[in-house]
Structure formats: C-alpha cells, structure tokens
Structure 1
Amino acid sequence: MQYWQPNQTIKNGRFIIQKILGGGGYGVTYSAIDNNTNKIIAIKTLNPMQQSQPDFEEEQEKFVNEALRLRGCTHPHIVQVYEMIREVGLWGMVMEYIEGQDLAVYIDRRGQLPEDEALRYIDQVGQALEDVHKQGFLHRDIKPNNILLRRGTQEAVLIDFGLAREFNLGKTGSMTNAKTEGYAPIEQYERRGNFAPCTDVYALAATLYTLLTAEVPIPANFRKYAQLPPPKQFNSQISDRVNEAILLGMTLEPQDRVQTVREWVELVLPRKVNLPIPQAPISNPQPKIQNQPSKNIATPPKSDGEIKLITAKMDYTRLRDLLAVRTWKQADEETRRVMLAVAGREKEGWLDVEHIDIFPCEDLRTIDQLWVKYSNGHFGFSVQKRIYQSLGGTRQYDEKIWQAFGDRVGWRKGGKWLYHHDITFDLRAPQGHLPEESGLWLGGWGGWVISGGVVVSSLASRLVKCNI
C-alpha cells in the first residue's frame, strides 16, 4: 500500500484527497474534500511503514479503538472524530479539519511566549486532558507539535492520539515505549510501569517549559546524570509561581509528581481567578473555579438571585460565570461535565435513559435556570422542552417529531444532522439551539441520531416530572 495522492477519490467518489497534512512513525493525515458537504475534512490512516508490518491488522485494530475513544470526547479543545471509513482494506479516521498552525511552529516564529498567553493554551489543553482521563485513557504524547491553534482565535486543540492507551490506577501495566524526547516522563522509557494521569502531567509541564523558554527540556533518562535547568534560567520574566509549578510537574519519579492535571493546573494558574475570558460585566468579580483551592479566594455565593448555585451534588459557580460572559461554547461543555459528574457517568462519558430518569430535579433546575437567565429566555432545557412538546413530542420516541425538532432548533440543515463543530455558539442561533446535548448521548459508535431523540424525549419527560 502507498500514500494516497492529490486528487485521488476514495469511498466511491465521496472524498477527494487534497494533500498530506503531516505524519510520523505511526500515521499520516490528509486533507480532503467531502463532496456531500463541500467542506474540508481531515483523514488519518496508518502510514505505509505500518502497512508493511506483519502485525498490520493488529495495529489497525488499535487504530480503530483510538477512533472509538476519541469519538467519546466531545470537548472543544480536542479534535473531533466524525466517522471511520475503509478503503481497499485501509481504515481511515474522518476528523475535523483545523485551519491553523501547531504550537511548535508558532514558537519557532514568535520565540518565547508571554506567560499569560502560554497559560491560556495550557489551561485549555489541561481541560481537554481531564476529559481524556475521565474516559480512562492517557494521551502519552503531549507536546507543542500536537497542539493546534485555530486560525483567528486563541483556542488550542489537542490532536494525535496515536499513542493513547487505557490505564488502571494503582496497577502495573504494559505499554509501548514510544515517546518524544524531552516531553516523555521516565516511565515511558520502560515497557512496564504504573501509568497514571501524572504521565500526561509531566508532558504538559514540559510543554509549558518550551512555550515560555523556546527550549526543549533535557530528556527524562538524562536527568539521572544532569539536573533539569529551571525554566527561569532561560526566561527571567517567568514568575516564581509558574517556575516552581513547572518543576513540580516535571518531578522525575512518578510517585513524587503532582498526580492529576487538575491539581497541577491549579498550581500554575493565578490564584484569584481562572485565566481571563472575554470581558463583560460579571456579578462576582472573583469567581471560585470548581475544585480550586480555597486559599486566598473568596467563598462563592450560594445563590444567583433566586437560582441555587451550590446543590448537594455540584457547585455551578463556573457554569454561571461562563454564561454571564456569554462564552456559550465553554458553557455548553461545562454543562456536559457537570451533568455527567452529577450522574456519576464521567467514565462512560454519556447518559442513558435510566440516569436521566433519576437525574436530581434540583440540579436540573439550576442548570436550566442559568441558561434561561443569561440567554434572556433564548436557550435552556425548558425552552427545548416547550418546542419539543409543541411539535407533539412525548416520552415515546417518534422519528418524524425528532427530525422536526432538529429542524426547529437548528441541529439539522437541508435534511442532514449537523456535526458538533457546526453548532452555532451565539445568540444568532435558533431558539433552543443550546445546550447542544450530543455529548450526553454519544455513548456508542454510530446511532447517535436515534440516541439523541431518545435522550431529548426522556429529558423532556424528566423536566415535566420536576415541574421545570
């Protein structure tokens, strides 16, 4: 097998290959035109070197499993996977095409980044990694080359999960020792070890080291003989807080390292507030970020007017703050996160009807009230419920009503369901467009359209029972 060539058509003419976007020792990624939508997408396959190996079929199985894991991650800072295709025995992962450049190229052109800019990207990637770890696997290849910046934005997107593997906390496991020098922790130099989220913590800290210094840290296996130079040695503008946090994140032995991404990000970010988000009036100028240490941070209010922000299950202060400044995309992702946490479904990454039927009314009411308040009645679960019922929707799934609902709230266009990246995250969207709940029902590979209808009908039923 060879590389696909420019202008080559695959899948009976559905896709037209444009060019190779990049590749490494494992895979190769192409840009292509999807003739069904006339949009540019990306397709990743195993590269010709892997195709020539005797264990090619086994590697293809791992590749498909990578796609399945990624399909369960609907985070705004993780590249989105749409579907898998097979062309003449070769599996391809059809993904979101991200126009922009990776952080490695960005640093080559810009040099050392200002601390606040570097922390913005690290915070975003940290949020993405938290979602990855909740799915029960590690990325294992965090580095500037695998973080893309969307053109015209300040959004970082984590890509290339080719080395991603499942892990079990506290258990010794076997993994390939593939790695990137300078960013891989010491445990990735051996095939067996106690792999845990702290493996990715090391790489994330090393990435911040590079963003601030334009230097690649010395490889972990050299550090037995040479001390890691503090990043402040290369950039005197780095704050003492960030300098110390990087060194703590890059502690050589995994058992001595900061254990979770959340813990490490809380060390590296400013204490009083999370990184700046688009400016707009906020009722509480120093919001408490979910699970952030309480030292030097004002206690968050327990209510927002008549809305209860802290329930027996969850603190909704962060959701309120995101909605207050109308960062709808981040608020949509936060809604997914808190709902999965309340239902105890973080590991599964999706809600089933059983958990929707027992979802606490108190929490459902708070989420809905916040969306309704800060969108002036344009968005919210209760808004979606009214639209669904006005079309004749009931607890019983009905395909025609579900399609009509999708058309009304803007989740379908031209008779086709939109991908998550096509959702409109602002008030120009149709009424009821948000929250966009695909992240709550994408529990399996395929069938998401039908599953979505079942979820929405069940959620509407639960809202009625909760008198919302």
Structure 2
Amino acid sequence: MQLWTPNQPLKNGRFIIQKVLGGGGFGVTYSALEQKTNKLFAIKTLNPIHQSQGDFAEKQEQFVNEALRLRGCQHAHIVKVHEVIQEAGLWGMVMEYIDGEDLGVYVDKHGQLSETEALRYINQVGEALEYVHQQSFLHRDVKPNNIILRDGKKEAVLIDFGLAREFTIGKTLSMTNSKTEGYAPIEQYERQGRFTDATDVYALAATLYSLLTAEVPFPANFRKFAQLPSPQQHNSQISDRVNDAIIKGMALSVQDRPQTVREFRELLGVVEDNIKLKTARMDYTRLRDFLAAGKWKEADQETARVILAVAGREDERYLDGESIDNFPCEDLRTIDQLWVKYSNGHFGFSVQKRIYQSLGGTKEYDDKIWEAFGDRVGWRKGGEWVEYGDTTFDMRAAQGNLPELVSPRGFLDWSWFAISSLASRLVKCNI
C-alpha cells in the first residue's frame, strides 16, 4: 500500500510530490512539480483502500484504460489528462494542475450565487458533459467540489473522473457504491441501473440547486419520505423558469427528467437558438412556424413532406435503408432540433431514439421490444396499434409520440425498420 509524501521523487526524479490535493472514495490526488519544466501537475492514483483490496490489479487495469480514454477528451471545461505513469507498481494519471478553488469552497465564501453567475458555470459544465456523453462516458459524480474555477477567470473546469464509466444506452450494468449524497440520483443507490445521460443531468441540476441556495439538496433516497424544498424556498430571487428546470432536472424517476444535458440547458434558457432553417436542400421555415404555433398535426405532415423531398423519395412515399443511411445530418439535425425545441423536449427523433435504445432496441428486429416501444410512445393502446387518425396531436400525447408518420393511409411507413435505421443514423450524426 502506497501513500506518496511531500518531496518524494517519482520517475527517477522527473516529478517531486508537493502535497495531497484531495481524496475520495476512489482515488487520491497530489500536486507534483516537474523539475525539468518547473511546472506543476496533478497526479491521481487509486487510494489506499482500493490498494488493499483483492481486486486491486483489476481496478488498476480499469483505472489505466479509463485514463487513456479520458486523455482523448479535449474540451475547454474538462481537466486535461496528459499521460499515465507507474511508480513501484502504482499507476498514476498525470493531469493539468488548475490553480483555483472549487465551487463548493467558493459558495462557502460568497454565499448564494446570483442566477447569472450560477448559470454561467452550469452552462460551461453542461457543455463539457455533452462532450463527455458523446464519447460514451458518464461522469457520475458532478458536484460543486468537482468543479474548479480557474483563478482570476470566470471559467469552470470539471474534474475528478474517478467514477467515470463507459456506458451503453439501455444496458443494465452494476453500479458502484461510490456516490455523493445530495447530488447522486436514485439509480446510483441501486445495485444495478441503466446508464443514461439523465444520471448526470440530475447531478448537474442538484449542483445548480446548491449554487443558488448554498444548501445541499436532500439525498435522493431520503426524498422517498420528505419532499424536496424548491430552490425558491431558499432563495426568492430565483426565476420561475430556473426553479422549474431544477425541479424537473432532479425528478426522482429517470423518465421524468430531461433526457440529455442539452434538454436541461434548453429548459434553463442558456442554449443559443442557432437552428439552421435553410440548408442546401430545404427551407424549414414552414415547419418552424407550425411547431411554434403548436399545430402538431400540420407539423407532422410537413415533416413527412420535407423528409421525402430531401431524400428524393416523393414517388415512393417511404424511406429505404439506403436513403436513411445517407440522409444528410444537417437536415436531420434541423428537423430534430425544431421538434425538441418547440415541444420542450417532449417530441423529436432524438427522443424516440433514446426511448427505443433504452428498451434494448437495435437494428435487429425484436417484436417484444418494438411493441414495448409502441406502448411507451403511445402508438399502441390496449395491445393494438393506433390508427393515424386517432392520434392525439397535442402535448397530452406520450413522450416521443411525434413525429409519428405511421399509418397505412398516412405519409410514411414509419415502421420498426425506419425507427431502428434512423436511430443508427442519429448516432452517426451525433444527434
């Protein structure tokens, strides 16, 4: 078992340990001076608890593999991982040293942050999390103490990826015992859970709760017995929009939360509206106008029209595998962004994709999964597929119900094949 001490040399004197910066349930982090450059770095190792356990070798292998993957994460608001080193059998992750204090300490000093300042940091960390999720990682320990403010700058940096794990949407895997009370969602208290972006959404919303109230939210498992006080009960200066977004982001049920960090940021109103209405192939102004007016049926029909036109399949009136696989990402992103924006994350292709994949859906047909998907999005009721004319074209419809485009007499054969192929295309387009 090793615990490095001040002035201890590493790698034949390349680094000199300065002090312990912090530790937790997973690792311990040191500051270290690189003698050749006189530059400070942070080096993280597994902590003595893990070093003393029988599966230490396996944990080290996992630690190194994750460090190498995180090295590929290049983002302004994510701590930079440079390399891994080994000293007397103990692997260390060499990271940038960030001169500054964490948001937990910052709030302790300054009290409740203004909404403007808090949203600035949450938006920056949100952008970092979106990037992490695109790399198929979850952070799983977002909290004020894992966000450092660069000294003299209004820049937040997400650190401590000790609990970070690769995840596959819809796959149930064992959860670790490590979590932070108040910021961990209910699924992290379970022995097994489904890995989704919504796990980090809860923690990000809880972090915003803390920044604005200077209070740690009730632990998720405690909320079974007591209602979470709204942020406005602690700070009356919080706007209704931000208050409501935090409550939604901290919903106990995974399905009731925004399913992506992007959706949560949109609820907060911090995402710039940069939807491109005109592409090289289509003008989406008419679709935007229908959606903005809440004319869901007209928007559904317009979506069918533009999809067929962009794909050059007006005569066939359906999309085959080739047309879906080659559908322009730019147009697919615009259509999805418009639906997601004007339904507040209730409708959209990306919403349907997450639901389908959360049920275990792939490009291989499974009648039980397809029927479960139909039940979830409201395309099936009472064990029967709903006719297009019986669709509820308003926000009372189930999440993911629209765009529907599914009926023998409708506009597209929006079948299992189309949904599964589209889900794959969305992934390739980073949507």
What TM-score do the two structures reach when normalised by structure 1?
0.59
Structure 1 counterpart of 2:274, from 288, 291, 295: 288
Alpha-carbon distance in 2 for matches of 1:193, 1:43: 31
Residues 1:207 and 1:56: Cα distance change in structure 2 (over 3 Å): same
Bigger Rg over Cα: 2
Other-structure match for 1:227: 227
- Counterpart-to-counterpart distance in 2, 1:48 and 1:194: 29
CA shift, 1:78, in A, is 0.4
Residue pair 2:5, 2:17 contacting (<8 A) in 1 also: yes
Contact 2:26 2:178 in 1 (8 A): no
1:175 Cα shift?
Answer: 2.0
> 1:2 Cα deviation (Å)?
2.9
Superposition pairs of residues 123-272 of structure 1, within 5 angstroms: 123-270=123-270
- Kindly tell me: are residues 97 and 290 of structure 1, through their superposed partners in 2, closer, same or farther at Cα, counting changes over 3 Å? farther
**Alignment-derived partner of residue 95 in structure 1:** 95
Q: Deviations over 1:387-428 (max 9, x none)?
A: xxxxxxxxxxxxxxxxxxxxxxxxxxxxxxxxxxxxxxxxxx
Verify the 8 A CA contact 1:71 1:82 in the aligned structure 2: yes
Q: Please report how far the alpha carbon of residue 79 of structure 1 lies from its aligned counterpart in structure 2 after TM superposition.
A: 0.3
Q: Which residue of 1 aligns with 2:10?
A: 10
Instruction: Decide whether the 8 Å contact of 2:201 with 2:264 is kept in 1.
Output: yes
Q: Across the two proteins, how many residue pairs are aligned to each other?
A: 288
Contact 1:103 1:149 in 2 (8 A): yes
Distance change in 2, residues 1:20/1:131 (3 Å): same
Structure 1 pair 18–238 and aligned structure 2 pair: CA distance change class (3 A) = same
Residues 351-393 of structure 1 deviation map (CA, whole Å, 9 limit, x = unaligned): xxxxxxxxxxxxxxxxxxxxxxxxxxxxxxxxxxxxxxxxxxx
Note the C-alpha offset of 1:124: 0.4
Counterpart amino acid of residue 108 in structure 1: D
Query: 1:217 corresponds to which letter in structure 2?
Result: P
- Determine the C-alpha separation between the residues in 1 that align with 2:276 and 2:165: 27
Q: Distance in 1 between matches of 2:23 and 2:193?
A: 28
1:442-453 paired onto structure 2 within 5 Å: none
Structure 1 letter corresponding to 2:266 = E
For residues 425-436 of structure 1, the aligned pairs below 5 Å read: none
Change (3 A) 1:288 1:86: same
Distance in 2, Cα, partners of 1:52 & 1:269: 47
Partner of 2:63: 63
Give ranges in structure 2 of 5+ residues lacking alignment. Answer: 278-286, 293-327, 332-431
Report SS of the residue matched to 1:125. Answer: helix
Residue 267 of structure 1 deviates from its aligned partner by 0.6
d(CA) in 2 for partners of 1:182 and 1:166? 23
> Which letter maps to 1:265?
R
The residue type equivalent to 1:232 in the other structure is Q
Match of 1:118 in 2: 118
Aligned equivalents of 1:289, 1:15: Cα separation in 2: 48
- Supply the distance in 1 between the matched residues of 2:103 and 2:275 (Cα, whole angstroms): 27
8 A Cα contact 2:68 2:83, kept in partner: no
CA distances 1:198-233 after superposition (whole Å, capped 9, x unpaired): 000000000000000000110111111111110000
The one-letter amino acid of 2:86's match is R
Please state how far the C-alpha of 1:290 moved relative to its aligned partner: 7.8
C-alpha contact 1:119 1:269 (8 A) present in aligned 2 = no
Partner of 1:363: none
1: distance between equivalents of 2:79 and 2:43?
12
Indicate whether 1:51 and 2:51 are aligned: yes
Which amino acid counterpart does residue 288 of structure 1 have in structure 2?
N
Instruction: Provide the rounded CA distance (Å) in 1 between the counterparts of 2:195 and 2:243.
Output: 25
> By how many angstroms is 1:249 displaced?
0.3
**CA shift at 1:289, angstroms?**
6.3
Gaps of 5+ in 1: 275-286, 297-311, 316-468
CA shift, 1:191, in A, is 1.8
Q: CA RMSD in A?
A: 2.3
How does the TM-score come out when normalised to structure 2?
0.64
1:438-464 CA deviation, whole Å, 9 max, x = no partner? Answer: xxxxxxxxxxxxxxxxxxxxxxxxxxx
Q: Secondary structure at the match of 2:86?
A: strand
Counterpart secondary structure, 1:22: strand
Instruction: Supply the distance in 1 between the matched residues of 2:125 and 2:248 (Cα, whole angstroms).
Output: 18
- Superposed structure 1 runs of 4+ greater than 6 Å apart: 293-296
